[in-house]
Amino acid sequence: MDAHSKPPHGTSAAAEPASRIDSLLTRFAAGDTTPEAAWAQAQQAATDPRAAHVLIRHFEAPATQSAGALGGTPVTVKDLFDVAGSITTAGSKVLLDGPAAAAPAERDATIVARLRAAGAAIIGTTNMTEFAYSGLGLNPHWGTPANAAGSALDEGLPRVPGGSSSGAAVGVALGVGLAAVGTDTGGSVRIPAALNGLVGFKPTARRVPMDGCLPLAASLDSIGPIAHTLADCLRIDAVLADAPLRPTPPAPGQIRLLAPTTVVLDSLDETVAHAFEASLARLQAAGVQITRAPFAPFADAALAAQGVIAAHESFQWHAPLLARAAAAYDPRVATRIAGGAQISALDYAAALTARRRWQDAVQAGLQGFDAFVMPTVPMVAPPIAALAEDAAYFAANRLMLRNTLLFNLLDGCAISLPMATGGLPAGLMLGAPALHDEALASIGLAAEALLAVACSTPSR
């Protein structure tokens, strides 16, 4: 990527999708509805049978709040964030009861405090893969929220929601809040957003403080929003980061995207492959400059560093809990975390060094382009029943995380936008190096308008 941090100013060829948060705030101001009514509507949505298992806990209605950047907007937060007076379970039963039970949080996580200060009405905490350790979203303790789009198309065939922020995405798709806050260590915001036809934004990690958030792998973790439009994601991000981005969508002809052909296009299912080609064609027809080319760093053995770092850092945090309550874990999660015990300090240090070298190679290879473009995930949401066997589960999990984890290893920023499919949703991912969030958001707004895909759950 060039040294400039923001693409040239211009205007997009199409209007940006309307912000649902802005619309709600306008209705509040006009007296057309009230924060209390919006809260009640979100709570009613949570009782929809398709929303089963979306929330781990519901909160009582807050005092009327119409001030602030989000005044009265219903949102949810992932069950990794401390909420004063509640136990942060991270989708587990380990921390809820038994020998490793945690005490209720004494104070809100920083991002929860910031949401409250901005006037957000926090509906509850959302379900997730236990301890955030999977991109599929299954949870044997609290139940798995079924993919919202899949339920609309065939309620009798529940599909994976994507993880680990599973309840976050399904909740937004079904109206349990206009936006959700999740975490993203290898794709856990972007994957469920893509599979449910929503927008997911993974900011540069250092922009949003992790205080009061239970970690998965501290050097890969980041916090980001899921919503119906990128404008809504950016509204939430401004509160989370306490530093709003000020994107200016460039004219299509000023956007230069690199579409790598190495690894990230392997094993695409037919729906994703067709939607990706159609999306690129639409962007190019509008004037966006897209270069397809091999990209050697995406086939580099250094990519293994992501798994080494995640396993080592996760095991360091979980070792005491595993020693006391391993039997209470999801066996699939416990197996992956326990594998970190085999990683030595020397192996971990080598992985960190490999990561830095790989980051340099990626940034060098992106010179002359504004961002990468690729499918967010290689497949639409598979049926939950198809993952009953461990071999199928772990194979699907690896494939689901393959593209998204690149930007966690890069310590970069990335956006997943919906692509038109005519059926189960798929995502188009734009990504860039660290602290290029504003430039990426500018490109994302332009691309979202050009693709013109409404984020909605298909009607039955």
For residue range 304-314, list pLDDT tens digits in order.
999 999 999 99
pTM of the model: 0.95
**Cis peptide upstream of residue 164 (ω within 30 degrees of 0):** yes
Mean pLDDT of the chain: 94
Does 202 qualify as catalytic in the annotation? no
Q: Is 417 a residue whose pLDDT tops 80?
A: yes
Tell me the CA distances in angstroms from 148 to 39, 154, 155, 269, 457, one per residue in order: 21, 10, 9, 20, 6
Cβ–Cβ < 8 Å for 46, 54: yes
Of residues 64 and 208, more confidence is placed in 208
* CA–CA dist 358, 410 (Å, integer): 8
What is the 8-class DSSP label of residue 165? S
Tell me the CA distances in angstroms from 293 to 133, 257, 303, one per residue in order: 32, 11, 19
What is the 8-class DSSP label of residue 381? P
List 144's β-bridge partners, or say none: none
Residue range 94-106: average pLDDT? 94
Q: Is 200 a residue whose pLDDT tops 70?
A: yes
Does 5 qualify as catalytic in the annotation? no
257 residue type, one letter: L
Report residue 174 as tokens.
């079904």
Burial of 269 (0-12, 13-18, 19+ CB in 10 A): middle
Candidate list 188, 279, 416, 442, residue with the active-site label: 188
* CA–CA dist 405, 304 (Å, integer): 11
Domains and CATH numbers, the chain: 20-451 (3.90.1300.10)
Which pLDDT does position 252 carry in this prediction?
Answer: 98
List 259's β-bridge partners, or say none: 292
**Helices assigned H by DSSP within 382-436:** 390-401, 405-409
Does 78 qualify as catalytic in the annotation? yes
Which pLDDT does position 391 carry in this prediction?
Answer: 97
Candidate list 134, 151, 164, 165, residue with the active-site label: 164
Which pLDDT does position 10 carry in this prediction?
Answer: 35
Which pLDDT does position 452 carry in this prediction?
Answer: 86
Select from 402, 297, 310 the least CA-distant residue to 352: 310
